[in-house]
Structure formats: C-alpha cells, structure tokens
Structure 1
Amino acid sequence: MTSHVEIRPGRTLAAVAVVQFMVSLDLSVVNVGLPRIAAGLGFDAAGLTWVIHAYALTFGGLLLLGGKAADRYGRRRVLLAGLGLFGLASLVGGCAQAPGQLVAARAAQGVGAALLAPAALALLTSTFPTGRARVKAFGVWSAMNAAGGALGVLVGGLLTQYAGWRWVMFVNVPMAAGALVLARRGAADGPSAVRGGRPDVVGAVLATSGIALLVFGVVRTDRHAWTSATTLTTLAAAALLLAAFLYVERTTTREPLLRLGLFAHRSVAGANTYNLLVGAAMTPTFYFVSLYVQRVLGTGPAMTGLMFLPFALGVVAGSVLAVKLGHRFAPRTLLVVGALLTAVGFGWFGLISADGSFVVDVLGPSIVASVGFGLCLGPVVSLATAGVAAHESGTASGLLNSSRQIGASLGLAALGTAAQHRTGTATTIEALNSGYALGLALGAALLLAAAVIALTVLRGSRRVAPPEPRTDRDQDLVPARN
C-alpha cells in the first residue's frame, strides 16, 4: 500500500519526535506520584511496582507484534491506532477508583505504546536511511527519548503536588491527541511491506505471558524464597512459555514475529543485549532515586521533580554530543564510553546516605550518569537497525524497543527485590536508604556489563542481510516506494 501523504522528512521527524517524547514521558511520569497513588488507591509495597510493571510488560512483550503489524499494515496506520488507544487508556487510568483499575489501564497504555513506538521508529529509519541526515535524525530522536524520560519525573512531581496524582495519567490525553493530528499531517508510510502470512498472535501471547510470569516470580521472592516450591514452579513455567515461543517462531506457518536469523548478526544481537542491560539499570534508578529523595530526604513531589531537571538536561547534552562525535567515532566507541560514564554515575548514586544532600547525593551523580546515557541512545538505535531489509525495519525497531522494556521490567523486579530484602521489615530512614543504595549499586554493575558487550560482541559487527524469500511468489514482490 502506498501512502497518499507527501513525504516531508522534516514533518516526519517532528511527528516521530513528539511520539517518542510522549512514550518516554509515560515511563517515568508516574514515579514521583507513586507514594500518593499508593495512599489514594490502597496499594501495598509489592503491588505498587505493578503500576510500572503493567505498562512495561505489555509494552515490551507486544512490541514485536506491533513492529510486525507496522510492516504489514502500514506504519502510519498502526501509529494512528496506537495513539488512539494510548490516549483512551490514559483517560481511563486517570479515573481509576481501585488498584486493579489503574493497573489495567496502565497495561492498555502499554498495548498502545507497543503499536505506536515501532511504527514511529520504522518511519524514521526509512525516511533517513544513510549519511549525516540519519545521524542528525537519530540524534533528535534520542534527545526526545531522553528528555521525555527525564522530564517525566519533573512533570510528574509538579502535577502530583499541585493538581493531584490523577493528572500524571490525564496529561497524556492532550499529548496523544496532538501527536495524532501531527502524525496524520506529517507522516508517510514509507516503503510498502512485503506481505507474507498473517502475524503470529500465538507467539505474541506466549512471549508476553512468559515474560510477565518471569517478572511475577522474581517480584514474589519478597514472600517466597528463591528455593521455595512456589518460586521454582513459577520460574519453570515462565521458562517453558518462552521456550514454546522460540519453538513457535521456528515452526509457525504464519508470519513469525521475529526472524531468529537476525540474531546471527553481531550488530542486532549485541545492540539488543546492550539495550536490555541499559533498560534493566535505568528504570530501577529512576524508581530508587525518586523514593530516596521523597522518603529519605523528605522532599515534596514538586521539588523532587525539579531535582531531576539536571538529569534531563544532561541527557539532552549527551545526545547532542553523540551527534557531533558520531561523524568522527564509531557507534561502538560511543556505546562503551556512554556505558562507563553512566556506570560511574550509578556507582556514585550507590553511596547515598540517610543524612545526605541534594548536591552530593543527587546532583553530582545525575550529571555524570545523564551525559553517559545520552551518549549511547542514538548509536545503539543506529547499530540495531542499520542494514535491515526495508520490510523488516518495523520488526527490528520493535525488537530494540522490546529489549529496553523487557530489561526495565526484569531490572526493576530483580533490583527492587534485592533492595526489599536488604531493607527487610524495617521502616526506618536508615533501612530504606540501605535498600535503595544496594539497588543503585547493582545498576552500576549492569552498566559495566553493557560496556563489556559493546567491547566484545559489537566488535566487527556486519550489516544485516535480508531474509531469503519464502515462496516463488514472494520473490517477485519488491517493496514499492512512495
């Protein structure tokens, strides 16, 4: 299908930038409001993390299906559908009267985001295929991605304190409406997809269920020991579901969600592993620092949000720096430097104390970590999508987004559980500080592992070759251009 929208790279970039800002904002906008959400709806400590997990799991688990849908049915069409669902779910979540209602709304938001995020990134990839324009486009994308995540804490704090926690959900409604209008007028579908069989919905259900069960098993270790029958059974069931997903992808007669051959290429495998580790470290850090500032330092929601502003500015600065350095250094070099800088910042965060201060315990590490994080955002996207066949760009984009969100859920589950075990049943400031510090230090270890991946797996990465055609009929189909 050929889009009837005139291709204008500037408008496409603007539409994608707004969409990415909104999706990233929603990953962090609720963090500062979590204590008041818990008080308002009656969440317990373990249940509260599902306000984040519900979004991240459906987002991460369905991104591959969203990417495949974008390739098959048209990126612009899928983008608009995702925006509509995202805005509606945000409205429902803001009106929630019970914990289950809010968690369900957050899950629906994740479904909408899983549709729109890979479609937006695939549009960007096809509009800016090579050269300096591609470097600049991904620089803008990464800056908006970073700004949304970091400014989400600021916006969430101001809304929670002065308008009420429900507005951390309502704020998405006008943003989704504005992005929908902009996407209708400014985005074209790009190359039409090569149509194969119907998308593999069974695979999507297996992948999402397996990941959700894995996270649930880890989170429940605060009540059931790792060696208990309950935990072992849950983790074993999760492993079986994920193994079934891989089997289905290899044998399905439908269009598989993921061509497993993509992982034979260093750039795809390395970039996604790197991205998973970064996601596993970053989301828990926002969570722990937000709780530390409010529960240990005794800061209000609005001031907490302002304390995250230097982090937001640092990430934008790092993204701009990555664009300038991208013409001189290989993406792998920027990934290594970015991961190491972020690890140093997270290690500094791990030194927080119960009688700490904003300048020493928040501002200093925020500057170091944010610049490092900004450095790696654009290059990892470029590596993960460079050389991918045009009709698989949505799948590759979905895979990259999926690795980040799956990492976020697994990281928050594992690091949050470790922090909870360190804190125990104590509710003193010192005990809380000790748990948060452990979680932050473990985040630094994950970033060091990401740097090792960039140094080893991504060394000598090659361009990704397109898959072999499935049938004689498919061999005659060549992606059309607008």
Structure 2
Amino acid sequence: MQPETTARSAGVAALVALAVTDFLVMLDGLLVTVILPDIQRELGFSQADLGWVVTGYVLVFAGCMLLAGRIADLYGRRLLLLIGYALFGVGALLGGLADSAWMLIASRAIQGLGAAAMTPAGLSLLTVAFPSGRARDRALGVWAAAGSIGIPSGALLGGLVAGAWGWRWVILINVPAAVIGGLLALRSLEESKLPRAQRHLDLPGAATVTGGLAALILALTQLEPMLRGAPTILGGAAGFVVPLAVGILLLAIFAAIESRTAHPLVSLRLLRVPGIVRANIAAAGLPVGLGAMMFIATQYLQAIRGLTPWETGLTYLALALPVTVFSPVAARLLGWLGRRRTAALGFALQATGLLLFLTVGPDSSLLGTVLPAFAITGAGAPIAYIPVTGAAVEDVGDDSGLASGLYNTTQQVSNTIALAAMAAAVAIGSSAAESGGVATSVTVDGVRAGFGAAAVLALGAAVASLFLRREGAVTASAVRETTEQGREPELARAEP
C-alpha cells in the first residue's frame, strides 16, 4: 500500500472516531428528555427535583469543559478523550441501574463530566490531525454533521427505545456506545500534548473558573421558573440571584488569579490570537437555531398538535437530513464566499426557518410550514458552524485543547442563556394568551413569541459573523513575532 493511501486511510479512521464522539455527546443531550415522565413515575421524583436529571448533567458539562480543554493540552488529548469515554459509560451504567432519585442525578453528573472531557479533547484532536485549509474544512463538515444529526436523533431514538424496552435502556445504550467509541479512538487517534517542561496546571484558577461557570449556569436554569412564578431551588428569586452572585464573584476571582500567575489556565497568548474573541462571540449564536427547534418545536408538536415522542422524532428527520446534505456544501461555500459571508448566510438561513414558525397555528400543515422551517434551519446550521469553528481554532498552536474548551464553553453558556430567554418568551406569550394569568400550558402565541426571540438572536449572530477574522489572514509565526515586537500583525491575504 502506498504511503499516501495509508495516510488517507488513517485520516478517515481518525475522522470517523472523532465524529462518533461528537455524535454521542449530542445524542445523549436529548435521549433523557423524552423519558422524564417515566423516570418520575418509577423513581418517585417530585416535579421540582425532576429537572435535576437534566440540570445535573448540564452543570458539570458546561462547568468543566474549559478546565478539561487545558488538561488535554497538558497531559494528553487522546488520554483525556479515553477517560471521558470511560466516565460517560460508567455514568450510563449507574443511571440505567439507578434505584433512587439521587443515584440517577449523580450518574447524570458523571456522564456530564465524561462529556466535558470528550468534547474539547475531540475537537482539539481534530485540529491537530487536520491542518488549516480545505482538509480541516471538510473534517469540520463531517464533525458538524455528526453532532447536528445527534441532536434530533436523541429524541427519535429515545422514543423508540423507551417504547420497546423501557426508560432504563434509553440510558444503558450509552454503555456499548461508549465502549465502541473508546476503542475507535484508541486504534485510530495519535496522542498529542505539550512538552513536559510546559506542563503547569493552575489549580486555583481551575477551581474558581469551574465553580464560577457552574454557578452561572445554575442561575440561568432558574431564570425561566423565576419569571413565571414557579419555585426555584431556593424557593423564589433567591434561586436565581444567589448563584448568579456566587458565579460572578468566583469568575472575578478567577480573572484576578489569571492576571497574577506565571502559568494561567487561560493564557493571554491565546486571547491575543487575532479573531479568537470575535469567533467566540459569533459562536454564541450557534446553538440557537437547533436549540429552538428541539425545545420550542417539541412543545408545539406534542402539547399543541398532540404528536407522540416517536412521531415528533420522525419529524426531526426534516431537520437532520439537511444538516447531512449541507455539511459538504458548506465547505465549498467557504471557498466561494469566504468565511464571513458563509457564516452570515448560515445564520440568516436559520433565522428564516425560525421566522416561518411565526405563521404556525394549531392546525397548520406540517408539510407546508413545519417541515420547511426544519429543513431551512437544518441547512443553515452547518453553513454557520464550519466557518465559525474554523475561526475559533485557527492558529492556536499548542493551545488547541484550551481553544476548544473555550469555544465549547461559550456555546454551552450561550445555549443556556438562549433557552432561558426562549422559555421566558414562551411563558410570557402563553400567559398573555390566557388573559394575563400564569400559563398552565403552552399556547400558539407562546410558541410564536419563543421563535421570535430565537430569530432575533440568530440575526444578531449573523451580524457578529461579519466581523470574523479573515480566513488565512495571519500566520501563527507572525502573531508570535509581532506580539513580541508590540506590533499588530498584518493581513497576509484578504478573503473574497
């Protein structure tokens, strides 16, 4: 076998292993949501505590990704990915066997920790394995397709498995999936990490940023129930205000630590890379389109249209299939339009799909309104994702794990904020439709209000994407040289 053929085969195997990682993490995000009523009945959850099955996962997942990305750089990206798979599988096993509410919540937290390790480690391995340019764009297209397909597949697969074998198997199927994914990673991926002399972990910074992010996410999850007058973890507004204050305090302490330590967790070198901050601002809009479809459209289809979870999952094929089709198209669009216009087009398409939902009613045609909205939003997702992700991990050098952790943390925090805003809009719109009282169910007006809020966020991301760093504008060596000399790096070439 020719060396070129061998290298190509190794690259394909590595990409498959990494795509499986993103698919599995995104899949699990919605697997559990469709079985919450069954879990509540069997394990005796109160309505207030039931949300912790999801919140426990999200808190650990979002809170630990930044730290996990840095650990990947320091001690091994493939090693951390394998540890993540192990934690993910163990958490799934414990969750499937849980006989009490606290055991299930703890198992979900373990799964969240595993996912927090897998996500930045996987993306950083991709950036190491595939150099900048067409090869990376194509690889990001596959990565984007795998993750985006995993989101609606969670609802579809969860409903199917729960109907056939019960809710426990919805969680237990993650065990063999984690084993297979781990074996693929072990066989297909090469280890990469910083030299031993550069391995310094900022423990005070790690503790404060992880705690601060977790507290911030917790506060955001309490915003929607507080706004609609429902109980929070502390009974009322304190359930939002207290964790918010704690989160802000810890993040302020983290910033002070980072400014004084010789080996910060978040290196200023990374933040000085041209375009990194702008890319993360644009990345904040990436979860909005698919998130709105999965959150608000699910309520519309089930609460208003009366579809079962299984039928709802089938409709999401209209969302998943365009993601698959347009992922390779997005890589080509980058060559024709450049990074900024391609990303703006992707966000604009998502906004268009979201705005179509402003026309829905209780008897609207699925073929005439809902499915086209799904298809347009699904097409826009990879078109926005690939250029923004490319900008967020370009020229980061040895900090690829940290850059991946920062990028994914940005998305998780923004996703929580966006969902809180959309949930509040749905609740307020539904309350207004019920003559100003507290909404007891989702209404069409609430759905329209939620999608309107999501469309505004998507359009804001489209504007932000117009300020992305121009593709290939500056090299890493130029950044280092000009930073040392105190000059701004010059553009090497402009995008079309």
Fold shared by both chains (TM-score > 0.5): yes
Q: Deviations over 1:152-184 (max 9, x none)?
A: 222122122222222221121111100111111
How do residues 305-454 of structure 1 correspond to structure 2 at under 5 angstroms? 305-389=313-397, 391-424=398-431, 425-428=438-441, 431-454=442-465
Give the Cα–Cα distance (whole angstroms) in 1 for the partners of residues 363 and 37 of structure 2. 21
Q: Name 1:100's counterpart in structure 2.
A: 102
Residues 54 and 10 of structure 1: is their aligned pair in 2 closer, same or farther, counting only changes over 3 Å?
A: same
Q: Name 1:81's counterpart in structure 2.
A: 83
Residues 150 and 195 of structure 1: is their aligned pair in 2 closer, same or farther, counting only changes over 3 Å?
A: farther
**1:101, CA displacement in angstroms?**
3.0
Q: Name 1:300's counterpart in structure 2.
A: 308
8 Å contact kept, 1:340–1:448: yes
Q: Name 1:121's counterpart in structure 2.
A: 123
Letter of the 1:78 counterpart: L
Q: Name 2:255's counterpart in structure 1.
A: 246
Residues 77 and 386 of structure 1: is their aligned pair in 2 closer, same or farther, counting only changes over 3 Å?
A: same
Q: Name 1:474's counterpart in structure 2.
A: none
- Aligned residue for 1:400, secondary structure, equals helix
Give the Cα–Cα distance (whole angstroms) in 1 for the partners of residues 255 and 266 of structure 2. 9
Letter of the 2:370 counterpart: V
Greater alpha carbon shift after TM alignment, 393-402 vs 144-153 = 144-153
Give the Cα–Cα distance (whole angstroms) in 2 for the partners of residues 339 and 382 of structure 1. 16
**1:344, CA displacement in angstroms?**
1.1
Q: Name 1:209's counterpart in structure 2.
A: 211
Residues 250 and 465 of structure 1: is their aligned pair in 2 closer, same or farther, counting only changes over 3 Å?
A: farther
- Aligned residue for 1:58, secondary structure, equals helix
- Aligned residue for 1:456, secondary structure, equals coil
8 Å contact kept, 1:219–1:414: no
Give the Cα–Cα distance (whole angstroms) in 2 for the partners of residues 343 and 173 of structure 1. 37
Residues 37 and 357 of structure 1: is their aligned pair in 2 closer, same or farther, counting only changes over 3 Å?
A: farther
Residues 68 and 296 of structure 1: is their aligned pair in 2 closer, same or farther, counting only changes over 3 Å?
A: same
- The answer on 1:156 being equivalent to 2:176 is no
Q: Name 1:472's counterpart in structure 2.
A: none
8 Å contact kept, 2:273–2:396: no
**1:273, CA displacement in angstroms?**
1.5
8 Å contact kept, 1:338–1:373: yes
Q: Name 2:492's counterpart in structure 1.
A: none
**1:305, CA displacement in angstroms?**
0.9
Letter of the 2:205 counterpart: G
Residues paired across the two proteins, number:
460
Letter of the 1:427 counterpart: T
**1:197, CA displacement in angstroms?**
4.8
8 Å contact kept, 1:267–1:462: no
Letter of the 2:457 counterpart: L
8 Å contact kept, 1:280–1:404: no
8 Å contact kept, 2:351–2:377: yes
> Which of the residues 202, 219, 234 maps onto 1:200?
202
8 Å contact kept, 1:349–1:365: yes
Letter of the 2:161 counterpart: L
TM-score by length of 1: 0.87
Letter of the 2:419 counterpart: L
8 Å contact kept, 1:274–1:450: yes
- Aligned residue for 1:32, secondary structure, equals helix
TM-score by length of 2: 0.84
**1:369, CA displacement in angstroms?**
0.5
**1:16, CA displacement in angstroms?**
0.9
Greater alpha carbon shift after TM alignment, 27-36 vs 127-136 = 27-36
Aligned identity (percent) is 36
8 Å contact kept, 1:215–1:413: no
Residues 344 and 152 of structure 1: is their aligned pair in 2 closer, same or farther, counting only changes over 3 Å?
A: same
**1:454, CA displacement in angstroms?**
0.7
Give the Cα–Cα distance (whole angstroms) in 1 for the partners of residues 369 and 104 of structure 2. 32
**1:48, CA displacement in angstroms?**
4.2
Residues 364 and 321 of structure 1: is their aligned pair in 2 closer, same or farther, counting only changes over 3 Å?
A: same
- Aligned residue for 1:188, secondary structure, equals coil
Q: Name 2:467's counterpart in structure 1.
A: 456
Give the Cα–Cα distance (whole angstroms) in 2 for the partners of residues 242 and 386 of structure 1. 26
Residues 69 and 48 of structure 1: is their aligned pair in 2 closer, same or farther, counting only changes over 3 Å?
A: same
Greater alpha carbon shift after TM alignment, 33-42 vs 299-308 = 33-42
Letter of the 1:409 counterpart: T
**1:304, CA displacement in angstroms?**
1.2
Q: Name 1:166's counterpart in structure 2.
A: 168
Residues 325 and 160 of structure 1: is their aligned pair in 2 closer, same or farther, counting only changes over 3 Å?
A: same
- Aligned residue for 1:328, secondary structure, equals helix
- Aligned residue for 2:13, secondary structure, equals helix
Give the Cα–Cα distance (whole angstroms) in 2 for the partners of residues 360 and 44 of structure 1. 40
8 Å contact kept, 1:90–1:170: yes
Give the Cα–Cα distance (whole angstroms) in 2 for the partners of residues 196 and 21 of structure 1. 32
Residues 28 and 270 of structure 1: is their aligned pair in 2 closer, same or farther, counting only changes over 3 Å?
A: farther
Letter of the 2:67 counterpart: L
Give the Cα–Cα distance (whole angstroms) in 2 for the partners of residues 405 and 195 of structure 1. 32
Give the Cα–Cα distance (whole angstroms) in 1 for the partners of residues 180 and 239 of structure 2. 46
- Aligned residue for 1:246, secondary structure, equals helix
Q: Name 1:270's counterpart in structure 2.
A: 278
- Aligned residue for 2:265, secondary structure, equals coil
Letter of the 1:412 counterpart: L
- Aligned residue for 1:317, secondary structure, equals helix
How do residues 109-148 of structure 1 correspond to structure 2 at under 5 angstroms? 109-148=111-150
Give the Cα–Cα distance (whole angstroms) in 1 for the partners of residues 24 and 314 of structure 2. 19
**1:459, CA displacement in angstroms?**
6.0
Give the Cα–Cα distance (whole angstroms) in 1 for the partners of residues 369 and 46 of structure 2. 28
Give the Cα–Cα distance (whole angstroms) in 2 for the partners of residues 357 and 181 of structure 1. 45
Give the Cα–Cα distance (whole angstroms) in 2 for the partners of residues 21 and 384 of structure 1. 20
Give the Cα–Cα distance (whole angstroms) in 1 for the partners of residues 145 and 425 of structure 2. 31
Q: Which has the higher contact order (CA 8 A, sep 6+)?
A: 1
8 Å contact kept, 1:74–1:193: no
Q: Name 2:190's counterpart in structure 1.
A: 188
